[in-house]
Homo-oligomer: A and B are copies of this chain.
Amino acid sequence: MSEANKGYFTEENSAEVVVSRIADTTEPRLAEIVGAVTRHLHAAVKEIEPTQEEWLAAVMFLTETGHTCDDWRQEFILLSDVFGVSMLVDAINNRKPSGASESTVLGPFHVPDVPELEMGSNICLDGKGHPMLIKGRILNTDGEPLSGVKIDVWQTNDDGFYDVQQKGIQPDFNLRGVFRTGDDGVYTFWGAKPRFYPIPDDGPVGKLLASLGRHPFRPAHLHYILEAEGYETLITHIFDPDDDYIHSDAVFGVKESLLAKFDLIEDPERIAKEHPDGPFYEVVNDFVLAPKT
C-alpha cells in the first residue's frame, strides 16, 4: 500500500487518497478504470464546485434515470447517447484504415434472425411511404468487389417508427432485410424513404435535453451491419443530408462520410423501366470494408 493510504482526505489530495485505497490485489484493468474515473470525477467536482443542493439534484437525477430503466427502456444508455459517450466509445473501438467506411452506433432497434431475401426485393411490406431504391457495391480497400457479404438493413417507415415500435400496425419484419452479395459485390433493394424520429423524451434524459434547449430528434437514416469473412464487421448508418436535423442528431451519430444523397427520380424513362407506379427516391452508396486485424 502506498504512503498516501495512511494520509487523511483533504480537498487538495482527494483523488489520490481515494485511488490509494484500491488494493494491490485488484484486477489491473478494473483498478485502471476506477482510478481514471475517480481522478476525472474529482477534477469535475473541483471545477464545478457544486453546492450541497446541486450535488443532491445530481443524485436525484441519477436515481430517477435508474428508476426509468426496465426491460423495455434503458435510460442510462440514452443518457450516454445524448452526452456523445456512446458515439465516442464507438469511435474508439472502430478506428478504420484510410479509405474504409466509418461506423456509427448500433441503436436499440436491431432484430436478429431477419429472413434473407433475394437481391432486389422490396422490404417495405405494407407499401406505405415514398418508395426508395437503395443500391451500391461492397468493396475492399483496394477497390475490389466483395462477394458473400451479409448485408443486414433496417429503417423506420414514413412516420419515423421501426416495426418493433408499432407491433400490430406495421407487419413483422417491415423495412428489414438480409441480403448477400454475389461476385460483383453489388447490393440492391427497395425500401421507403425513412423519416427523422425522436429518441424517448418522456423521462429524465428528455427533461434534461429540454432544459438545455436541445431537441430529441435523429435525422432520417438507414442502418447497416455488413459482415464478410476476413473483414471487420461494419455497423453503420447512411443519412439523408437534406434532413432538418442532419447537423444536430440528438445522439451525435452523423459523420460527414455517412451522408448519402437521397435523390428523387422523376425521369420518365427510368420510371417506366424501374418503377411504373411513378417517381421514386434513389440512394446509391458504396461501402468499403477494412481487413480483419
Contacts and interface: CB of A to CB of B under 8 A. Distances in A.
A169 interface: no
A14 interface: yes
Contacts of A161: none
Contacts of A9: 84, 87, 91, 252-255
A30 to B, nearest CB: 6
Interface string A57-79: 00100110111010000101100
Contacts of A33: 48, 50, 54
B212 A84 contact: no
A6 interface: yes
Interface stretch (A16-24, A134-142, A192-200, A284-292): A16-24
A46 interface: yes
A5 to B, nearest CB: 7
A23 B213 contact: yes
This protein's copies in its complex:
2
A88 B46 contact: yes
Contacts of A26: 211-213
A117 interface: no
Interface residues of A, number: 75
A43 interface: yes
A14 B213 contact: no
A27 interface: yes
A165 to B, nearest CB: 21
A14 B251 CA distance: 12
Contacts of A184: none
B80 A213 contact: no
Contact of A21 (B10, B49, B248): B248
26 contacts: A5-B247, A5-B248, A8-B247, A8-B256, A9-B253, A9-B255, A11-B95, A15-B84, A21-B248, A23-B214, A27-B211, A33-B48, A36-B44, A37-B44, A40-B47, A42-B85, A42-B88, A45-B89, A46-B88, A50-B92, A52-B89, A59-B74, A59-B80, A62-B62, A65-B66, A66-B69
Interface of A: 5-6, 8-11, 14-15, 17-18, 21-27, 30-34, 36-38, 40-52, 54-55, 59, 62-63, 65-67, 69, 74, 76-77, 80, 83-93, 95, 208, 211-214, 247-248, 252-256
Given A9-B84, A33-B54, A42-B85, 6 more contacts: A14-B87, A17-B252, A21-B248, A40-B41, A45-B88, A52-B93
